[in-house]
Amino acid sequence: KAGVTQTPRYLIKTRGQQVTLSCSPISGHRSVSWYQQTPGQGLQFLFEYFSETQRNKGNFPGRFSGRQFSNSRSEMNVSTLELGDSALYLCASSEAGGDTQYFGPGTRLTVL
């Protein structure tokens, strides 16, 4: 099976703009989780979607949002970008009831 894919791989935006990142899970996986990775804060959980419903949410401001489509593909959106939003955004998918999360390659977001 193909692995988790994310698009785009790199993105440069300016403060105040918004951005949408996409994640395609492994075929058959219904859970998609999003994480933010920065040198200072490490890997932090953003949210998880399962069967088009948000199942868990991390401690991020409301500028960060996401959704999941019926084919399990997920998007996350960040509005009113701030410099501190520069990070690697990783998504991970897992099977229903499964433990293992498989990560995608990430989207490197730079906010200028």
Q: Does 73 bind other proteins (CB under 8 A)?
A: no
Residue from 13, 22, 86, 105 binding other proteins (CB under 8 A): 105
Look-up: residue for tokens 């999360």? 101
Q: Does 36 bind other proteins (CB under 8 A)?
A: no
Question: How many residues interact with other proteins (rule CB under 8 A)?
Answer: 23
Instruction: Supply 59's token pair.
Output: 């401690």
User: Which residue type does 74 have?
Assistant: S
Q: Does 21 bind other proteins (CB under 8 A)?
A: no
- Per the rule left: phi > 0, alpha: psi between -120 and 50, beta: everything else, 36 is beta
Residue from 101, 107, 109, 111 binding other proteins (CB under 8 A): 101
d(CA 24, CA 33): 11
Q: Does 92 bind other proteins (CB under 8 A)?
A: yes
Q: Does 87 bind other proteins (CB under 8 A)?
A: no
Burial of residue 65 (CB within 10 Å: 0-12, 13-18, 19+) is middle
By CB under 8 A, name the binding residues for other proteins: 31, 33, 35, 42-45, 48, 50, 55-56, 58, 90, 92, 94, 99-106
